Amino acid sequence: MAPSFDHLRDEDLDEEDFDMDEVDISDLREKYEVSLEQGYDTFVVVDGLPVVTEEQKPKLVKFLLKKLNTVGKAREDSIDMPMGPDGKSKQFAFVEYSTAAEAAAAVRQLDFTPLDKKHTLRVNKFTDIDRYGREGRVEEEYTAPEIPPFEEQEHLRSFMADPSGRGRDQFVMFRGDSVGVFWNNEKDQPENIVDRPHWTETFVQWSPLGTFLTSVHAQGVQLWGGASWSRKRRFAHPFVNLVAFSPNEKYMVTWSNRPISIPDEGHPSLSLDDDGKNYVIWDVETSKPIRSFAQLDTPTSVDENGAPRKQKLPWPAFKWSADDKYVARLNPGSSISVYELPRMNLLDKTAIKIDGVVDFDWAPATVQRDGVKTYEQLLSFWTPELGSNPAKVGLMTLPSKQVIRSLNLFSVSDVKLHWQSEGAYLCVKVDRHSKSKKSQATTLEIFRVKEKGVPVEVVDTIKDTVINFAWEPKGDRFVIITTTEPVGPTAVAPKTSVAFFCPEKAKGNAVGNFKHLRTLDKKNSNAIFWSPKGRFVLIGTIHNQQSADLDFYDLDFEGEKPESDKDLTANLQLMNTADHYGVTDVEWDPSGRYVATWASFWKHKLENGYHLYDFKGEQLREEPIEGFKQWQWRPRPATLLTKEEQKAIRKNLREYSRVFDQEDAERINSADVAVVQERRRLLEEWYAWRAQVEEELAEEREVLGLPADPVADLLNAKTAAIAPGQEEQIIEEIMEEVLEETEEIVN
Amino acid sequence: MRPILLSGHERALTQVKYNRDGDLIFSVSKDQQICAWFAHNGERLGTYHGHVGAIWTIDVDPTSTILASGSADNTIRLWDIKTGKNLKTWEFPTAVKRVEFNSDGSQLLGVTEKRMGHLGTIVVLDVKIDVEAEQTDEKALTIVCDESKATVAGWSYLDKYIIAGHEDGSVSQYDGKSGDLNFNIQIHELDSPITDLQWSQDRTYFITASKDKTAKLITAKDLEILKTYPSDTPLNSAVITPKKDFVILGGGQAAMDVTTTSARQGKFEARFYHKIFEDEVGRVRGHFGPLNTVAADPTGKGYASGGEDGYVRVHQFDKGYFDFMYEVERERQNKLNQQ
C-alpha cells in the first residue's frame, strides 16, 4: 500500500529531533552536480608529437592538419601547440573541432595513428584529460600496479578426455527451460554431465573449437567451460540477439537489433563511443571490446512490381578469414571493408571498392596456391550485371588486394559462392535466365584454386534450377538438389532430384574433370548433410509436413561397382532410409559416427524430440521430449596427430577396432546382465507381493465368513432360474472346410 | 489380429464394458444409446433406449442380468439386459459420470458431476439383482467431495473401500460402509485429471490413467504406487489385462486439438506395456480419433477400445500375444513347471 496521509501514524509526524544538518546529501549532490565541462566537448588533446622548434612548428601543424581533417574540420588557428621556455614544443597540442561529434570521431579513429616510425599519435578528449587527470585523481607518488599471484586455471579442453575411455562426444540439449550437457551413449540414455535450469534466455552455442558454451541473456553473453562448468567470460552487450565467433575462437561478434544506449552512469565494459552501435567485436581472451559498428542502413531495394523487397539481415555480418587475421563486412553495392586484427583498423585505411558487389566469402582455410610463396588469404566475391557490363565473379588475395582470377558471366539472376572446406575448390552456382526471363537454369563454375592459374571448369549439363549444393568436406565430390518447379512458398513442397558429382579418375595426384555420377528422381529432399569426415552423406526432407525421409548414402561403397562408373572416383550406395516425422534440424557429430536429428519446439509444436542415428542410418535412439528446442554437438579442435601418425593408425585400424569391438561387447554384455537381473528382481518382487496380498485376502474373507468366490452362488442361482431341472444344453456347430480340390477327367 | 469394427454409434464413445463371461460387450456413447454386442462376432444384440442425454458410463452386474448406466440427463438407470426394459431411474441434480457395481452386485456407486452450485458426490445405491424386484429409492450412502470433484470411482476387494480418482490428480480411499475419507494422496501431477480407474481381477490393485500422460498401478489398501507407465500423450483410459501381465493404455491428443493434426500425429493407438517391467511392448493402430475407453475381456482373450471417432474395435489376441514372454518370465515358468 502506498503511504498516504491517512495512514501516517503520530510517531511518523514527530519532527522534534530532526536536524537538517545531519542529513547527508553528498550522494545527491554528486548525482545532480551540474557538469561544468560542457563546451569543451569539441576539444581534443593530441599527444605523442615530435619535439619541434618555433621554426619547425608551422610545418608540423600543416602535417597534423592533414591527419586531423580526415575526420572533421580543424583550421590552422584551431591548433594550439604550447611551447616550453626553451623554445621547444611540449609534444602535445590542443585541437578544436567544429562539432563534438567530429571530436569524438577523432578520438576513435586517430588515436594510435602512426606518425612516423618513432611517433604515434594519441588523441584524447579534453574533458577526459581533465576528468582523469584532475588534481587528486592522480597520485603524486608512483605505485607499481599490483600483480595478482598466478592462479591455476582449470583445463578448458578437459572435455576431450572421456572418463570412460571411449572417446565419446559431448552435446548440449536445450529443452523446456533447462540446458544440459551430455555424453553420447549411443543406444543408452545419454550420460548427464551438467544440467541447469534457465542457463540461457534464448539459445546456446558452442564456440567453434568446443572450448566454451555460450549462453545468451538480456545483459549480454556469457561463456562457460572447464570441468566445473563455471563462468569463464562475460561480454556485456545489452539485448544481444546473435553471437558469432572467429574460426579460432580469438574474437567474437555480438549483434543486437537495438542500438546500444550507454546509460549516464556508464557501462561496465562499453564506452560512450559505442553508443548507437549494433555490433561489437570482442577479444575473447581479455573479454574487452575492440571496436563497435552501427548497422548499415541498406537502401530498401524494390522488386519488379515496385514492392519493397524483404530485407534479410546479413548474418554473419562480419566474416572472418580462416586464420582470424582479417574480418570483413560487405557494404552492399559498393565495397568490402576489411579490418586487420588485433587492432581492428581498416586495411590500408580504405574499404575495397567493388561496384555492385552483392556477396563475398573467405576461403574457409588458408590455401597454399601453386607457385605462391607469400602469405595470403583468399576472398571471393561477385557483382551482378550493371548496364552492359557482365556479371563478375572474382577471387582476391589479401593483403595485396589483387584479383587473381575473375570470370565474366551473362544472363545472371543469382549467384551463390560455395567453398570446399579446405579451400581447394570454389563452386560458383550461377542461376541463369533465358533472354525472355521465363525459364531458369543453373550452371556450376568450379574454380580449382590450388592449381596453377586457377583454371575454371564449367558444369552446364544441369537442366533445372539447383536449390541446394554441398561439397564433400575435405573431399572433391558434391551433391546438388534440383527442381523443375519454381521455388516458392507453396503448400506442397516441389518434387526434387538429387544428383551426385565426382571427378574422373586421373593419373597421379591430379584431380580429373567433374562428372555426373547419378541422379535420383522423384524425391522430396531439400537438405544435404555431409559427414564432417566426408564419404557419407545424409540427404533429407526437413521442415516438411508431409514427408520426412532421411536417406543415408555411402560414396565409397566397398561392394561391386557398376561398369558405367568405372572411370569415376565414387561408388554410390544407398545404405538406409529413415523417417523422422517433423524433423527440423540435422547435425553430424564431429567424429562423423553419429547423426542427431530433432524436431524443435521453435519451429513447430508437434512431436518435439530427437532421434540418434549411426552413420549407416540405423536408428539408435528416439526420445520425445516436451519443449525440445535445441541440440548441438560439442565441436572438437583439430587433431594434434601428425599426418604420419594418422596414416599409421589408419593402417592398423583392424588391430584397434578388434580391441574396441571387444570392449563394446563386454560393456553390452554386462549391461544386458544388469537388465536381466533387474527384471528378475522386479518379477520376484511382484509375485512375492501378490502371494502376500492373496493370502491376506483369503484370511479376511474367512474372518468375514464370505465364500471364496462371491459370484459363484449367484451364478448358480441364476442358472437354476433360467433352466429349472434341465440338464446343460450342448450346442454343436459343424464347420466344413475344403482342404483340397482336385479335378480328374474320367475317360 | 484383425479387429471387428462395431459401428453402431453415431458419436464419440464414452465407455465400453465386457460382462463377466466375456461374451457380451456393452458400449455407451454421446449419442444417447446403449448397445449390446456379441464379443465373438460383433453382432449387435440390441440397444437400450430411454436416456435423453449423452451417456457417460455403463456397468453390468456379475451375473449379466442387469445393466446400470449414468448419463448427462442427470439419471442413473437400471435395465433388464434380456428384454431392454428400463427397470429403475434415479434422478440427480447433475450429470452422472461413472457407475460401478460392487463385487456381488448388491450395491451400485455413482459419481455425480460438480455443477450449478452442486458439489460432486459419490452415491451408493442398494440394488437387487432381480428384474422383477422393486428397487429402493433411498441412497445407502452419499460422499460429498468438497475439495476436488471425483471423476472416477470404484469398489475395492470385499467392498471394503471406495476408491475415487479426482480432477486434481489425487486419489482418495473412503470406507466402503461408512463413506468416511480414510486418506487422499496426490498420485498424478497436480491438476491433471484422472480419467480412468479400472481394477485387477481380485480388486486388490487398480490402474489409473491421467491427462499427465502417465498411467499408474496402485494398491487399494495403502494407495501405494506400484508401477508407472509413461507415455507421450494425454491418457483417457487404462486397463489391466487378465491372464497375461500387461496393461493397455488409450489416449491421444485432446479432441479440441485434433483438427489441426493428422492421424499420424494424433497418437491414436492402444499401447501395450508390460505390467511388471513397465516397458512398452507394442501398439495397435486403427482409430482415427483419440481412444476414450479401453476394456479387457475378463477371460483374457481380447480387448475392445472405443474412440472419439464413434467406433468400437474389438480385438481377439492371437497366438503371438499368448506366447510372448520375457526371458525371465519363461525362466520362472519353467521353474514352476518343474516343481
Residues A201, A216 contacting (CB under 8 angstroms): yes
Q: Name which of B65, B226, B331 is nearest A718 (Cβ-Cβ).
A: B65
Distance between B92 CA and the closest CA of chain A, angstroms: 30
> Which domains does chain A possess?
37-134 (3.30.70.330)
A691 in B contact zone (CB under 8 Å)? no
Q: Cβ separation of B63 and A718 shorter than 8 Å?
A: yes
DSSP string, A543-557: S-SS--EEEEEESB-
A131 in B contact zone (CB under 8 Å)? no
Q: Which chain A positions have a beta carbon within 8 Å of B129's beta carbon?
A: 714
A574 in B contact zone (CB under 8 Å)? no
Query: Which chain B residue has its CA at the smallest distance from A680's CA?
Result: B328
Could you give the CA distance from residue B25 to residue B39 in angstroms, rounded to a whole number? 6
A710 in B contact zone (CB under 8 Å)? yes
Could you give the CA distance from residue B236 to residue B212 in angstroms, rounded to a whole number? 10
Average pLDDT over residues A482-491: 68
Per residue, what are the HEC states of A245-279?
Answer: ECCCCCEEEEECCCCCCCCCCCCCCCCHHHCCCCE
B21 in A contact zone (CB under 8 Å)? no
Amino acid, single-letter form, for residue A521? D
A375 in B contact zone (CB under 8 Å)? no
Report the pLDDT value the prediction gives residue A607, as an integer from 0 to 100: 81
Report the pLDDT value the prediction gives residue A71, as an integer from 0 to 100: 77
Helix, strand, coil percentages in chain A from 3-state DSSP, rounded to 5: 20, 35, 50
Residue with the three cell numbers 561439397: A471
pLDDT category at B263 given cuts 50, 70, 90 is very low
Average pLDDT over residues A740-747: 84
Each residue of A302-349: pLDDT tens digit? Answer: 555 555 555 567 788 899 999 999 999 998 888 999 999 888 888 888
* Cβ-proximal residues to A90 (8 Å cutoff; 6+ apart), any chain: A81, A82, A83, A84
Q: Which chain B positions have a beta carbon within 8 Å of A610's beta carbon?
A: none
Between helix B327-338 and helix A653-704 the angle, nearest 10°, is 50
B300 in A contact zone (CB under 8 Å)? no
Average pLDDT over residues A612-629: 92
Average pLDDT over residues A641-654: 91
Could you give the CA distance from residue A677 to residue A332 in angstroms, rounded to a whole number? 67
Query: Which chain A residue has its CA at the smallest distance from B20's CA?
Result: A711
Report the pLDDT value the prediction gives residue B219, as an integer from 0 to 100: 95
Could you give the CA distance from residue A644 to residue A648 in angstroms, rounded to a whole number? 6
Answer yes or no: is pLDDT of B239 > 60. Answer: yes
Report the pLDDT value the prediction gives residue A727, as an integer from 0 to 100: 63
Q: Cβ separation of B265 and A697 shorter than 8 Å?
A: no
Average pLDDT over residues A414-419: 92
Query: Which chain B residue has its CA at the smallest distance from A547's CA?
Result: B264
DSSP string, A271-314: -GGGTT-SEEEEETTTTEEEEEEPPP-----B-TTSPBPPPPP-
Strands B205-210 and B214-219: antiparallel
Q: Name which of A683, A689, A715 is nearest B328 (Cβ-Cβ).
A: A683
Answer yes or no: is pLDDT of A584 > 50. Answer: yes
B332 in A contact zone (CB under 8 Å)? yes
Report the pLDDT value the prediction gives residue A127, as an integer from 0 to 100: 78
pLDDT category at B72 given cuts 50, 70, 90 is very high
Looking at residue A120, what DSSP letter applies?
Answer: B
B279 in A contact zone (CB under 8 Å)? no
Q: Which chain B positions have a beta carbon within 8 Å of A697's beta carbon?
A: 157-158, 202, 204
Distance between B178 CA and the closest CA of chain A, angstroms: 17
Among candidate residues B91, B108, B88, B111, the one with its CA nearest the CA of residue B100: B108
Rg (CA), chain B: 19
Q: How far is CA A412 from CA A98, A358, A441, B107, B308, in A?
A: 48, 13, 10, 85, 56
Q: Name which of B202, B276, B277 is nearest A697 (Cβ-Cβ).
A: B202
Report the pLDDT value the prediction gives residue B107, as an integer from 0 to 100: 93
Q: Name which of B158, B261, B264 is nearest A704 (Cβ-Cβ).
A: B158
Query: Which chain B residue has its CA at the smallest distance from A721's CA?
Result: B130
Query: Which chain A residue has its CA at the smallest distance from B257's CA?
Result: A606
Q: Name which of B129, B205, B264 is nearest A714 (Cβ-Cβ).
A: B129
Residues A319, A331 contacting (CB under 8 angstroms): no
Answer yes or no: is pLDDT of A435 > 80. Answer: no
A227 in B contact zone (CB under 8 Å)? no
Q: Which chain A positions have a beta carbon within 8 Å of B62's beta carbon?
A: 710-711, 714-715
B147 in A contact zone (CB under 8 Å)? no
Q: Cβ separation of A710 and B104 shorter than 8 Å?
A: yes
Each residue of B9-45: pLDDT tens digit? Answer: 999 999 999 999 999 999 999 999 999 999 988 999 9
List the beta bridge partners of residue A447: A426, A456
Residues B313, B305 contacting (CB under 8 angstroms): yes
Residues B268, B287 contacting (CB under 8 angstroms): yes
A693 in B contact zone (CB under 8 Å)? yes
Answer yes or no: is pLDDT of A299 > 60. Answer: no
Report the pLDDT value the prediction gives residue B255, as an integer from 0 to 100: 59
pLDDT category at A64 given cuts 50, 70, 90 is confident
Q: Cβ separation of B158 and A715 shorter than 8 Å?
A: no
Best of B201, B277, B335 to disrupt the A interface (most A CBs within 10 Å) is B277
Best of B21, B23, B60, B63 to disrupt the A interface (most A CBs within 10 Å) is B63
Half-sphere exposure of A149 (CA within 13 A, CB side): 1
B276 in A contact zone (CB under 8 Å)? yes
B200 in A contact zone (CB under 8 Å)? no
What whole-number percentage of chain A has pLDDT above 70? 90
Q: Cβ separation of B265 and A701 shorter than 8 Å?
A: no
B298 in A contact zone (CB under 8 Å)? no
Q: Cβ separation of B63 and A714 shorter than 8 Å?
A: yes
Each residue of B101-117: pLDDT tens digit? Answer: 998 889 999 999 998 88
pLDDT category at A282 given cuts 50, 70, 90 is very high
Report the pLDDT value the prediction gives residue B55, as an integer from 0 to 100: 96
CB atoms within 10 A of CB A331: 15
Could you give the CA distance from residue A632 to residue A629 in angstroms, rounded to a whole number? 10
Give SS3 for B102.
coil
A667 in B contact zone (CB under 8 Å)? no
Average pLDDT over residues A383-406: 90
CA B141 to chain centre: 22
Report the pLDDT value the prediction gives residue B288, as an integer from 0 to 100: 86
Tell me the residues of chain A between 591 and 620 that have a Cβ less than 8 Å away from chain B.
Answer: 606-607
Looking at residue A491, what DSSP letter applies?
Answer: S
Residue with the three cell numbers 605462391: A372
Each residue of B129-153: pLDDT tens digit? Answer: 888 888 898 899 999 998 899 999 9
Q: Cβ separation of B158 and A706 shorter than 8 Å?
A: yes
Report the pLDDT value the prediction gives residue B233, as an integer from 0 to 100: 87
Count of A-B CB contacts under 8 Å: 58
Could you give the CA distance from residue A502 to residue A518 in angstroms, rounded to a whole number? 10
Could you give the CA distance from residue A274 to residue A280 in angstroms, rounded to a whole number? 8
pLDDT category at B84 given cuts 50, 70, 90 is very high
Most confident residue range from A431-445, A725-739, B15-29: B15-29
Report the pLDDT value the prediction gives residue A349, as an integer from 0 to 100: 84
**Mean pLDDT of all residues belonging to chain A:** 85
Report the pLDDT value the prediction gives residue A668, as an integer from 0 to 100: 85
Average pLDDT over residues A192-219: 94
Best of B264, B278, B327, B333 to disrupt the A interface (most A CBs within 10 Å) is B264
Report the pLDDT value the prediction gives residue A5, as an integer from 0 to 100: 52
Q: Cβ separation of B276 and A683 shorter than 8 Å?
A: yes
B232 in A contact zone (CB under 8 Å)? yes
Residue A79 phi, psi dihedral angles, 5° rounding: -105, 125
Q: Cβ separation of A683 and B329 shorter than 8 Å?
A: yes
Average pLDDT over residues A289-308: 68
Residues A327, A281 contacting (CB under 8 angstroms): yes
Selected residue with higher pLDDT from A327 and A81: A327
pLDDT category at A453 given cuts 50, 70, 90 is confident
Q: Which chain B positions have a beta carbon within 8 Å of A582's beta carbon?
A: 265
Each residue of A220-264: pLDDT tens digit? Answer: 999 999 999 999 999 999 999 999 999 999 999 999 988 888 887
Query: Which chain B residue has its CA at the smallest distance from A686's CA?
Result: B276
Q: b/e map of A469-495 (b: 16 or more CB within 10 Å)?
A: bbbbbebbbbbbbbbeeeeeeeeebee
pLDDT category at A203 given cuts 50, 70, 90 is very high
Q: Name which of A624, A682, A706 is nearest B277 (Cβ-Cβ).
A: A682
Between helix A57-68 and helix A100-110 the angle, nearest 10°, is 100
Distance between A309 CA and the closest CA of chain B, angstroms: 32
A674 in B contact zone (CB under 8 Å)? no
Could you give the CA distance from residue B24 to residue A471 in angstroms, rounded to a whole number? 65
pLDDT category at A566 given cuts 50, 70, 90 is confident
Average pLDDT over residues A180-192: 91
